[in-house]
């Protein structure tokens, strides 16, 4: 799996630095919203890290902000352009 993601290389250093993910909440009920920032107008996608299953996609706004929704726990990759970052989603039972 890492080999597939290693083929995504940022064209510019600014592209890699622009993808930022806000801290993921530790508690959620049914749907978790992953928020962050990317280059304005960039397409942002969410994949399952282990199976490359497509989960959600959106386009970053003029200010670069985006929101992705996920309804399960697991290991995910947020992909924007030619760069990506990992996200771990765990659900706490309280």
92, burial (CB in 10 Å: exposed 0-12, middle 13-18, buried 19+): exposed
Per-residue pLDDT of the chain (94 residues; tens, 9 = 90+): 556 555 555 555 566 677 888 888 777 777 888 899 988 888 899 998 888 888 999 999 999 899 999 888 888 888 887 777 888 887 655 4
pLDDT of residue 15: 67
Q: Comparing C-alpha atoms, which of 69, 64, 14 is closest to residue 38?
A: 64
In order of their start, the domains of the chain are 2-89 (2.60.40.10)
Entry pTM: 0.75
Buried b (16+ CB within 10 A) or exposed e, 40-56: eebebebbbbeeeeebb
Sheet holding 32-37, edge to edge: 20-21, 32-37, 65-70
pLDDT of residue 74: 83
């Amino acid at each position: 799996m890492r080999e597939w993601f290693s083929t995504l290389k940022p064209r510019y250093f600014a592209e890699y630095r622009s993808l930022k993910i806000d801290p993921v909440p530790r508690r959620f009920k049914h749907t978790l919203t992953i928020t962050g920032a990317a280059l304005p107008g960039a397409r942002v996608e969410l994949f399952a890290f282990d199976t490359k299953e497509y989960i959600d996609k959106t386009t970053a706004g003029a200010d670069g902000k985006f929101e992705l929704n996920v309804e399960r726990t697991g290991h995910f990759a947020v992909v924007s352009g030619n760069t990506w970052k990992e996200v771990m989603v765990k659900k706490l039972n309280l």
